Amino acid sequence: MSIAAGHRIRTAPASAPEESMTKLESTGVEGAAPRTLTGSLGVTAIVFMVVAAASPLTVIGGAAPLGILLGNGVGFPALYAISAVILLLFSVGLAAMSRHIPKPGAFFTYVGYGLGRSTGLAAAWVAMLTYTTIQVSVYGYVGYILSYTLQTYTGVTLPWWLFALLTIALVGVLGYRHIDLSSKVLGVLLVAEVGIVLLLVGAVVISGGAEGLSLAPFEPSNVASGSPGVGLMFAIAAFIGFEATAIFRDEARDPNKTIPRATYAAVIGIGVFYTLSSWGLVMAWGPSNIVAEAAADPGSLILRTMSQYLGATGEIITNVLLITSMFACVLSFHNVVTRYQHSMSNAGLLPDRLGGVHHRHLSPHVSSLAQTVTAAVLIAVFALFQLDPVLAVFTWFAGVATLAIALLMALTSIAVIVYFVKTKKDGRVWNTIIAPGLGFVGLVLSAVLIVAYFPIMVGDVDAAGTPVFGALSWFLLLLIVVFPLFGYLQAAWIKARRPEAYAKLTDTIAG
């Protein structure tokens, strides 16, 4: 068996108690293929992976204009800061769990240890819904941008879904190979897109903006204006992926230190960058003009801003980086989903083959192929129903993903508190009770606001613009109910048909 230099497959005795949550042996396949991922990713590499999932330029160029237009207008930048504080509190408990539960499954693993096997399985399927929908939503957006760019510069018109499928294929190739390759690609793209946005902010500050520099976006009256629930949805959506640091545990160097540090660095870095960048966007046009400019064409707002402050060259560079930013985003989410599937397979929740590791690339290659096919099929279905790639595919499914992740993180916060209260493995009250508790409150309030304004996001409003829960809103919200319900049903089935496998799902919490 050929193993890449600097890496080796880690194995553990089947009786090791700490392995049973993520490694169920299957008859006839034991020893047939490596089941555990390995690597030497450091803090920087993991931060690149998860921040790339947040896709800085896509957020500032795509989500921020929509948050300003559909959300709370001038006050939208403040929601990034609010989201960062809530998620930082949540991260304290997440980091504490990562030290005591050495498993790469993240949410579903932690919920399983804290709240029991059945709830852990339910959480696993909510996580799958979250990362699959957010990934597919960005495929829709990148398909649109590529189609629009081709038409703008060449006059040739090709359907968005064709570009989406081509992107899926390229992401699939990189996802099939070793994680180090993906992290290098993401690192280069991330530095470039962050650099161009900071250059824009610098130009705005030096010029003084359209109406002078001010703190108008942080004034309470502006923060509470419009539809703050929709704005909060876009703000929290910008952070999706930061929590995936724990998923790369098996591929991290010194994970007990690397994972917590990477988690804190990702949240703080994302929060500061988005708050500063969106503030710069508002200042570029002025508080009295930004909503009108976003309404004129939210998709091109960042390009028009770049053209005004950095010239035609800046606009062209940004257009290119916007495309690569979205590519980096879907590549990162692809890596996250494949590792969730890998962990779920090794826990006996998905077909055994999905837990295999490539003998040379040391990647979850079968899981990667499965996710590539899933994304391609979903895009084909959306194309068949002629859904708009931005107003439908991107907006609808980003909304589903955001609400699902907020609820999942709230559940994980409770699991953290329960786990440490029961086991008393960590005596730090702030890390195990207070911070997770405050994070839970913030996440629940965020979820309530998102649900209240959900119809506006999907276009379910009456003639007066009042949100109305129509068929589309209920269908999308129902997904967040159906997936965890399936997890509970699966748990019941495993408990009845495979009691030994069910007993191995956790070691410390009785089902």
Tens-place pLDDT, residues 318-352: 888 888 888 877 887 888 788 778 777 877 778 87
* DSSP structural state of residue 470: -
Res 9 pLDDT > 60: no
Long-range contacts of 204-209, Cβ-Cβ distance < 8 Å, separation of 24 or more: 204/280, 204/283, 204/284, 204/309, 205/280, 205/283, 207/309, 209/283, 209/284, 209/286
CATH number, domain containing residue 38: 1.20.1740.10
Task: Classify residue 99: in a domain, yes or no.
Answer: yes
Q: pLDDT value at position 250? A: 59
% residues pLDDT > 70 (the chain): 80
Inside any domain, residue 42 = yes
Is residue 265 within 8 A of residue 186, CB to CB? The reply is no
Q: Which residue has the higher pLDDT, 246 or 171?
A: 171
- Answer whether residue 456 is part of any domain: yes
pLDDT recorded at residue 48: 66
Q: How many domains does the chain have?
A: 1
Mean pLDDT in residue range 226-248: 80
Flag whether 11 is in a domain: no
Question: Over the stretch 399-413, which tens digit does the pLDDT of each residue have?
Answer: 899 999 999 999 999
Distance CA 99, CA 106 (A): 12
What are 129-144's pLDDT values in tens digits?
998 998 899 899 889 8
> Residues 200, 309: contact at Cβ < 8 Å?
yes
Examine residue 14 and state whether it is found in any structural domain, yes or no: no
More confident residue, 456 or 43: 456
Identify whether 108 is part of a domain: yes
Name the residue range of residue 327's domain: 30-503
Mean pLDDT throughout 498-506? Answer: 73
Q: Is residue 22 part of a domain?
A: no
Q: What is the pLDDT of residues 188-227, one digit of tens each?
A: 777 888 899 999 999 999 999 999 999 999 999 999 998 8
248-268 pLDDT, tens digit per residue, is 655 556 666 777 788 888 889
Percentages of the chain per state (helix, strand, coil), in multiples of 5:
75, 0, 25
Domain-embedded: residue 493: yes
